[in-house]
Structure 1
C-alpha cells in the first residue's frame, strides 16, 4: 500500500482543513521531490489549462505510473468544452427535483464534490457527472428550460469555496479516500489493497459469504488488505491496487462499468472488460470456438429479421433442441424446444431482448464438467449434476423458486485429459484471468458448452479439494500481476 498525495498551488490553501502529511505543492511534485511513490494523486491546482503547472502535474503523474484525478484526458475534455447528455431517466429525475424546489432561473448550478452533492435526490446526477468527468470539484450548469440539458461543466478552485462548501468538500474527500486522515491500523503496512466487489442481495452470487470471508482472511495472512465493497463504495475504487469482481457480470450492467473504470485506472482486474465482452455473449463464443476448431454443440443462429422455421432448425440440429438468449446466465434464458408452438413462443420472448438467438443441439448428460482455469492453468475441477427431474443444473420454476443439482469437486489428476486440454485451449482465446469452462463428455470427446468469466468459488464446493490453497492461488495471482507491473 502506498501513499496518497494532494497537490496544491500553495500549502497555505489547506489551512481550513485538518493537517495531513499528504499535501505537497505542485512545483515540488513536478520536481519529483516527494519522499514516496504515491498510489493516488489528487490534483487540486487552481489552473489546469493546457501547459499550466496543474496540467503538467496530471500529465507527469500518468508518465510516472501514478493514478491521478483528474487525468490528462479529463483536463482535455474540460478544456475543449466537450458536452455531456443525460439519458431520459436522469432528465426526468432532475426535472422533477427542480420543479419540486420551484427553481425558476433559466440556468441552475449543481456543485459536485468527488461524485457527491449536497442536494438530497440528485445523487445519481452527481455520480453520472463524476463518472464521465472524474474531477475533485465541479460546477455543473443546467438549463432548466431545455429539459435540464447540461450546458457546461466547469472545475471549481479550492480557494473559491465558501465556508459551507469547504465542509462539504472535506466530507466528500474523506469519503472518497479515507486514507488521508485515518491512522494506520497496524504497524505492518499491507503490500497492496484489493477490492472485492459483490452484491450482498444477489440471488445466485459467484461466491457465498463464507468464500468471501475466506478471500479476506487469506489475503490478510499474505499481508494484503482485501475489502468487500459494493456499488455504494465505488467512489473509493481508486484507493485500491486491484479489483476482484464477485458479482455476476454482464455487458449492460454495473459490473462491466466497474471493470472498465478499474482497467482505465491501470488496476489489476478480474474480470477484466475484454474477458467480460468475450465470455458473456454466447453468439460471440460460438463463433470463436467454431473458428478455432474447438468442439462445441452443433448450432445455428436465428435472426429476428429472417427467422427460420422449427422444422428447418430441427433438420439441422435434431429435435428437441436448445434455444439460448446470448447473454443469459445460471440457466436463465435457456429453453428446450420440443414442438413448433414452443419454438414460436420462446422466439417471441427472446427477440424482445436480442435480435439474434442461438439454437444448439440437445446433448443430455447426468452432469457437466466445470474446470476452473487461472492464468492458463487448471485450478479446480467439479462435476455439476443436473437438478433432480430436470435437464439443467438450475431449475427455475414458474413460481419464481429455483433449485440446483449437486456439485462434486474432483482432483485434477482424475479429470479426463481431453476435458482439461480443451478447457485450457479455450481459455487461451479469452485471456489470462480466472475462468470457468463448462464441458460435456460425449463419446470420449470433450464438448464446450460455455466459458464463464465469473466462475463460482463457493466455500464447501469448489474449494473441497484444495481448501485454503484455492484462495491463496487466486490472491497470489493478483500479487504476481501487481509486482510484474512495478518491475
Structure 2
C-alpha cells in the first residue's frame, strides 16, 4: 500500500484532511476486507470503541486474521486494559523514565503524565520515554501516568490507551501533526510525480570507521529507489521505535550479536518485514566456528581448520604446522586475525584471544596475491571482485599500531568473466547461510579454490562492488526487497507479542 489505511468510526473523526489518504469507516472494513485493495496492507485503527469485543477490537482482530498489519493489535488492546498483562512493557518504559529523570537538572516534583502520539510527545525531556512506550505498546494515542511516591520514588502507574474522543482541540492539533509524520503521505518522486509503493529503511551508523556502504553508494541506492517507486530512507540506532513505519529493512552498519544491528534485525523479523541481514544470517555468518563446522560438514573446500579450546593448542601445531592463522569467532575487516610463526607465539596470541572467547579457530596459512569476493543475493551472483593484499602484508587490511589502516587495491570483474570454479563454491557456501545478501571470500592457488568465510552485510561501495554493474546492482537489490515484501506470509501472533503490530 502507498500509505496506511486509516480506520475511523465516522469521517468527521479524522483530524486532518483525507486528501492522499485511504480512510475507511471501521464498520465498512469489518464487513468488506476487499475495500482496502490488493497487496500488503497496513492499518491504523483510530476507532473510538477500543474495549474488548468492541468495534475497534474486532477491527484489529479481523485485520490479523486477514494478514493485515495493524496498530494497535487485538493483543495490545486487551493487554493495555490489564496492568498485569502489560507489566513487562511498563517495566521497560519505567527503566527509560528513571534514567531520564536522573539526567534532568530540574525533574518534576509532583506526579505527572506524558501524552504520546505515535511515539512523539511535546515534552522534549521525555522523548525517549515516549518512543519506548510506542515501541512496546504500539497504540496511536497513549498516556503514561507517572506517580512520585514519597517513599518509593517515581514509577509508571499505568500506560493508558486513548482515543480521538479523549482529545481536546489543542491536543487534536498535536495528534494531527504526529499522524501526518507517521503516514508521510507526500511520498512522491519530485521529478516524476511517481507514487511511492514501499518504504525501505536503511540502518546506518554515521560514527562507524568502516561502514559497509559509503555515502555515494547509499545515494545511488536512493536514486534507484526513486525510479522503482521505493522510498529509501536512512535511519540510525535512535530510530528503533520508528521501524514499524517501513515495509523492509536493509542493514548498512557492521553487524554483530552484541550491537544494535542485531536488535533491529530481530525487531524487523518480529514485525514480519523483510530484512537483510536477517537474524539467522547474522548469527551464522558472524561466528567463524559455526562457519567452519558447517562448510566442513557439507564438503566445501576450505583451508585446514581446527577449532581450539585452551587444552588443544598442541593439536593445532601438529595438524597445521607453522605459520598458521588464529581467528576470533566474530572478527571483521581483518581484525582478530593473527598469523603466528612459532609455538611460543601461538601460546602468547592464543592466551589473548581466549580472554574474549572460549573457542578460537586455527587455520592453515594460505598466502595469495588476492582474495576473491563473490557477492550473492537470492542464491545468484551479484558482483565479483578481487581484493588485493595490502602492501607488504598478507591481508587485504593492515591495521597499524598508530591506528592507521592501509588496504590493497581491487579489480571488479563482470560476473560472466569470473571463473566458474570460483562462482560454484561461493553459491554453495552462501546457500548454507540462507537466501539473503552475502559476500563469500575465497582463495585460489595451484591446489584449487577454497572458501575462507561467508560474510553477511558485505561491503557495497561506490566504484568498487558496483564498478561494473553500476546502477543495475542497486536496482537488483531493490527488486529483491519488493519481491520479498509482496510475497511475505501473513503475520502470526504468538499470543503475547504479535508479529506484525
TM-score (structure 1 length as normaliser):
0.86
Q: C-alpha separation between the residues in 2 aligned to 1:220 and 1:463? A: 18
Out of 85, 88, 97, the residue aligned to residue 83 of structure 1 is 88
Q: Distance in 2 between matches of 1:227 and 1:346?
A: 43
Separation of aligned partners in 1, 2:344 and 2:9: 71
Per-residue CA deviations over 1:39-82 (Å, capped at 9, x if unaligned) read: 42111234434433222222222233322122334345435334
What's the counterpart of residue 45 of structure 2?
Answer: 43
Aligned with 2:426: secondary structure?
helix
- Measure, in 2, the Cα distance between the counterparts of 1:161 and 1:352: 57
Cα distance change of structure 1 residues 301 and 95 upon mapping to structure 2, 3 Å threshold: farther
Aligned to 1:124: 128
3-state secondary structure, aligned to 1:383: strand
Shift of the alpha carbon at 1:262?
2.8
1:456 is matched with which residue?
459
The Cα shift of 1:266 comes to 3.1
Asked if residue 114 in structure 1 is aligned to residue 118 in structure 2, the reply is: yes
Instruction: Note the alpha carbon deviations across 1:408-459, whole angstroms, 9 max, x for none.
Output: 1123344333321111111111222221101112443322211112111222
CA distance 1:9–1:190, change in 2 (3 Å): closer
2:142 aligns with one of 113, 128, 138: 138
Secondary structure in 1 matching 2:106: helix
Counterpart in the other structure of 1:30:
30
SS in 2 for 1:110: strand
Work out the number of aligned pairs and report it. Answer: 480
1:249 aligns with 2:252: no
> What's the counterpart of residue 199 of structure 2?
193
Q: Which runs of 5+ in 2 are unaligned?
A: 491-501
Is residue 282 from structure 1 mapped to residue 288 from structure 2 by the alignment? yes
Deviation at 1:96, TM superposition (A): 0.4
Looking at structure 1, the residues matched to 290 and 93 of structure 2 have their Cα atoms a distance apart, in angstroms, of 28
Shift of 1:229: 3.5
Equivalent of 2:99 in 93, 96, 111 = 93
1:454–1:73 CA distance, 2 compared to 1 (3 A): farther
SS of equivalent residue, structure 1 residue 370: strand
1:88-487 to 2 correspondence within 5 Å? 90=96, 93-97=99-103, 100-105=106-111, 109-142=113-146, 150-179=156-185, 185=190, 187-231=193-237, 233-303=239-309, 307-308=310-311, 310-339=313-342, 342-343=345-346, 346-347=349-350, 349-485=352-488
CA distance in structure 1 between the aligned counterparts of 2:211 and 2:101, rounded to whole angstroms: 36
Equivalent pair of 2:42/2:70 in contact (CA under 8 Å): yes
Using CA pairs below 8 Å that are at least 6 residues apart, which structure has the higher relative contact order?
2
Quick check: 2:97–2:129 contact (8 Å CA) kept in 1? no
Q: Distance in 2 between matches of 1:385 and 1:331?
A: 13
SS of 1:203's equivalent in the other structure is coil
Label 1:61 to 1:281 Cα distance change in 2 as closer, same or farther (>3 A): same
Deviations 1:265-301 (A, max 9, x none): 3333222222222212222222222222222233333
Structure 1 residues 428-437 or 339-348, which shifts more? 339-348
* Higher mean C-alpha displacement, 458-467 vs 1-10: 1-10
Q: Say which SS state the counterpart of residue 257 (structure 1) adopts.
A: helix
Q: Shift of the alpha carbon at 1:35? A: 4.5
Q: Secondary structure at the match of 2:262?
A: helix
Runs (5+) with no aligned partner, structure 1: none
RMSD over aligned CA atoms reads: 3.2
Distance 1:102 1:464, change over 3 A: closer
SS at match of 2:88: coil
Give the C-alpha shift of residue 163 in structure 1. 4.6
Native 8 Å contact 2:387 2:411 kept in 1: yes
